[in-house]
Structure 1
Amino acid sequence: MTLKTIRNGVHKIDMYLNAALDLLGGEDGLCQYKCSDGSRPVPRYGYKPSPPNGCGSPLFGVQFDIGIPSMTRCCNHHDRCYDTCGNKKNDCDEQFQTCLSKICRDVQKTLGISESVQACESTVQLLFDAVIHLGCKPYLDSQRAACMCHYEGKTDL
């Protein structure tokens, strides 16, 4: 076994542990994107976010899109919020919940059918729970792509 093999093995373990930490809420359990040197993240020059994917997560292969255009708009707005450097996960998630809840209120006003409202509220709760419990890694990945820390731009001479 060579030193390089050991180093690569340690690197893989580190990557797995970091991925597990991201899934569990980041290093502090609060799911916040921070620069390791304490500096404030700044938008990455030239960053172009990938197009929003509706109500789904490529990480988990889950697609919650049920064909309601206003719900898809809420999901797309949420994706864009995660993709904007400096946005806090909690703020994005609260905006998402507000957007989704408005859909159910609109269903109530338009249709007045309690079964439709209950189905809407169940779907909203499912989407919101997924974002709260499974959204940390997608949020951190988006922030890493959208932001840079000051030390990233420096190179050793």
Structure 2
Amino acid sequence: GSKPFPRYGYKPSPPNGCGSPLFGVQLNVGIPSLTKCCNQHDRCYETCGQSKNDCDEEFHYCLSKICRDVQKTLGLAQNVQACQSVVELLFDSVIHLGCKPYLDSQRAACRCRHEEKTDL
């Protein structure tokens, strides 16, 4: 089949941090950079043609960097461990539960070459 292309006039919904329906709970744990990673991940999913795997890898890298920064700033082993636990929880959630949100976002952001003007 032909590749999908961006839907004309599509406006992504505003990112909602780590409180997406994906997690079922609000996971904003008071770390602004964590929210930033989640927002970037939301935007990536809503970019027509982006692969889920690339979005998830970018998300994992973003999250891991936060923990490295925590280590540099605070240097407390338990803080770093807590950070890594949150990162793994978030990343596992995305890997296991992210398929539907990814597909829904792609469906909203893209259209197929021969798609009718009516909604599916």
* Normalised TM-score (structure 1): 0.72
Task: Give the deviation of 1:64 after TM superposition.
Answer: 1.4
Structure number, greater radius of gyration:
1
Give the alignment partner of residue 93 of structure 1, picking from 56, 63, 86: 56
Q: Matched residues, percent identical?
A: 78
Task: Give the deviation of 1:99 after TM superposition.
Answer: 0.3
Q: Where do 1:54-69 residues align within 5 Å? A: 54-58=17-21, 61-69=24-32
Task: Give the deviation of 1:62 after TM superposition.
Answer: 2.1
Aligned residue pair count: 118
Alignment partner of 1:46 is 2:9: yes
SS in 2 for 1:40: coil
Q: List alignment gaps of at least 5 residues for structure 2.
A: none
* Counterpart for residue 90 of structure 2: 127
Task: Give the deviation of 1:39 after TM superposition.
Answer: 1.2
Q: List alignment gaps of at least 5 residues for structure 1.
A: 1-37
Larger relative contact order, structure 1 or 2 (CA cutoff 8 Å, min sep 6): 2
Alignment partner of 1:139 is 2:102: yes
SS in 2 for 1:56: coil
* Backbone CA RMSD of aligned residues: 1.4
The one-letter code of the counterpart of 1:92 is C
* Counterpart for residue 102 of structure 1: 65
Deviation track 1:102-124 (CA, whole Å, cap 9, x = no partner) reads: 00000001111000000000000
SS in 2 for 1:152: coil
* Normalised TM-score (structure 2): 0.93
Deviation track 1:63-82 (CA, whole Å, cap 9, x = no partner) reads: 21111100000000000000
CA distance in 1: counterparts of 2:80 and 2:44, whole angstroms: 27
